[in-house]
Chains A and B, each alone.
Chain A
Amino acid sequence: MFASLSIAMYLLGLVLRNQQLVTVAVVLLSFLTWAALRTAHGDVASTGKRMEDAAMDEGVQLQSIVAMRKTSSARVFEDGEIDVTVRIQNRSGVAKVLELRDRVPEVMRVKKGANYVLMEIGPKRETEISYTIETPLRGFYTIGPVCIRVQDELGLFHNEKEILLYDDFLVFPKMEDIKDAMVKSRVPKIFTGAVNIRNPGEGSNFYNLREYIPGDPMKKVNWKATARQDGKMMVNEFERDAVSDVILIVDSRAVSETGPVSRNSLVYSTRAAASLTQYFLSRRDSVGLVVYGDEIVSVDRDTGKKQLYIILTKLAGAMAKGNTPLKIVTNRIMPHIHRGSPIIILSPLEDDPTIIDAVRDLRARNFEVTVLSPSSLEFEFDARRIDRTGYEVLKTERDILITELRGLGAYVMDWEPDMLLFTALAGARGF
């Protein structure tokens, strides 16, 4: 701007033969030239093209700046925190005034410290900046690059460089403790029948006593019972621990992201799926996951803590894309799951005409179906994106659909935004 102004004044001065204007233009040009010399802005060659060498492109001022980053964790839950430390080294012998910004994902909030720092760094010195970011939403994220800018003292010119330093991290969906829902319910476990497989096996709960058979380990011998049976050796039998296969189906179609970024069906579904996974795995059930959107992603049934993290990782990466119908998903998975296994569908039940057919098929094959449906209508209505009339009409249609699903024998819960997961689950089971 100053350069254009000075050239305009210079030319106008010559035309009007006005020494005053020409002098001002000359002073302004000299001012700019000196500032340019001080910033080494002269690495822009006189032809107007930058020099061929990419390294030279950034000028000497930036070449000797090195950045290193350390993060406190690469895996964190929603609403968690990550501490980031960036170490900056000035390997040259000249002091520099640097503007440094470590790019953090847009949805993250810097809670403590600053990722944007202005500093003077002495020759052959290093300094550290640290900050803490809050992770409000699940997903795969990257911190970086580190953007560095060197300005002249008067702020007229600057050189910039991006240090391609990246750190990836994973934010798992938040988990809610749903044990309360079970304690308060009238039956001890959500899924009776198919879940309570009362068969003897290698478990920890006592099942019954039986006579000793050669080959039984001696640690299983119940000596008190043996003494009571006049020398007939009795052994303890235990209940088999792995009680059921639970399948969670999460709808991650594009429509599931309807509503505000932090309050939509997909966010609620992933959180519910994470909480349910943790609950069932803690009961030693085996849990499988199917996430469908533009493609069908599945995690095979398994037990244990490792399975929890595998499922959490898949849930963290669930993107709202595509429009795969539920029927295609159920047709694909049905041959691979045991009859009677409970299936929990987490879906807004929107924009899919195959829902009824899919649930009917599952019920016909004796699967116990529970539908937990975060209502995107409520999200949109709360955000004032639809008017009252539209809301009422759409709500009526949704209620009809839910009634129809219940008529097929599925447990369905219309999960409203302010409802806690365990309340929704209790409602779904009709407790």
Chain B
Amino acid sequence: MAEENSKGPVDTAHLYDGKVVRSSAPSRVKAAGTLKRDTGIPDDAMPEIEIPGWIETIFGGPVLTTRKFLPPDRMVVSLQIWSSASLLVLTFLTFMLTPVSGTAWFTLSNILGIGFIGLAIHWILMLIGLIGGFFGISQRDQRALLASYVALILVTVRFAGSKVEYGLSFLPEDETIQKILLILYAVFLVMYIEISSGIIRFSMLDTSIRTGEVYVMNVNAITRRYTRALSVTPAVAGFVAMLTLFINLIIPAFVGILDPVAANRLRESVELTSVYGVALGTILVFIIIASMFAINLPLRIQQYTERQS
């Protein structure tokens, strides 16, 4: 059975068994067809077809690249520095803003009666995020980077009960500062993901340039645009997040024009100050954004820009 399944060179014995050898050369094409299970078709005769796995199908492409990179150029090195800096800040913010209470491992360790295990897991997750991140950044290893993203996101998955809590007790309880810290944390997380992905992207590009696969005209202009986008986009994202997080102040401010009492009541309402207030804010902000897309505003802005220029 094992022999039947093994692929190997064509066995030509069947061509001569009980047959008169003719002067015409035998056909190996026919031989391949007459053999039963062990066709013996050489491996290199088959075209290589890459069938994506179910994970790749979900994400619409390969999640990790296995490509070997050449030593980093100046752009990649500077991205590595930025990424490391944002990872440091992010880990510190995560440590500040994410208490162990409410996490699954905390609950589990309490049930088992070994409280410190929950805290240990919590810190280990943060350490995986930090060390994995540094390793991934320096070695440009996507697996380590992915582990770092997962660890840093996983550590925040906890039942929080609508109230912002700190991992450190000495931080101010002021709501505005809390929310600004939250936005900073979120912006740094997204920046860390974006810049570390940028390291891989630019390493691929740099390797392609140096191996002659792609030629880049005016590299400086392209990197300048990327750098500008890296500074503008987080600012915009932070602003939008601020609008949604401070919805409990924005809505009452509008209502206050008409009815100051109702505005005050709204300002102090649990619904608006809780996570559902943020959800409401998100819905309002994204309804505006969705309507922009519905009327194809980006396209129209572009058409306008092209006409004007």
A interface residue numbers (CB < 8 A to B): 1-2, 4, 9-10, 12-14, 16-24, 26-31, 33-43, 45-46, 51, 56, 59-61, 64, 92-94, 97, 113-114, 116-120, 123, 127, 129, 152-155, 254-255, 258, 349-353, 355-356, 380, 383, 385-387, 389-390, 393-394, 397-398, 400-401, 404
Contacts and interface: CB of A to CB of B under 8 A. Distances in A.
Interface in B5-21: 8-12, 15-16, 21
A312 B10 CA distance: 36
Q: Interface SS of chain B: helix, strand, loop or mixed? A: helix
Nearest to A8: B153
20 contacts: A2-B193, A13-B275, A16-B160, A17-B274, A19-B163, A20-B98, A23-B183, A26-B241, A27-B186, A40-B302, A42-B296, A43-B299, A116-B208, A120-B217, A153-B226, A154-B226, A353-B24, A380-B28, A385-B42, A404-B23
B190 A27 contact: yes
B228 interface: yes
Contacts of B22: 353
Interface of B: 8-12, 15-16, 21-30, 42, 44-45, 58-60, 63, 97-98, 102, 153, 156-164, 182-183, 185-187, 189-190, 193-194, 197-198, 201, 205, 208, 212-218, 221-222, 225-226, 228-230, 232-234, 236-241, 244-245, 274-276, 278-279, 282, 286, 289-290, 292-294, 296-299, 301-303, 305-306, 308-309
B230 A154 contact: yes
Given A39-B298, A154-B226, A390-B10, 16 more contacts: A17-B160, A17-B162, A17-B275, A19-B182, A20-B164, A23-B241, A27-B237, A31-B194, A31-B234, A34-B232, A155-B197, A258-B29, A349-B25, A385-B44, A394-B28, A401-B25
Nearest to B279: A14
A28 B161 CA distance: 22
Contacts, number: 259
A41 B289 CA distance: 13
Contacts of A94: 302, 305-306, 309
Nearest to B58: A4
B25 A153 contact: no
B189 to A, nearest CB: 6
Contacts of B182: 19-20, 23
A33 B289 contact: yes
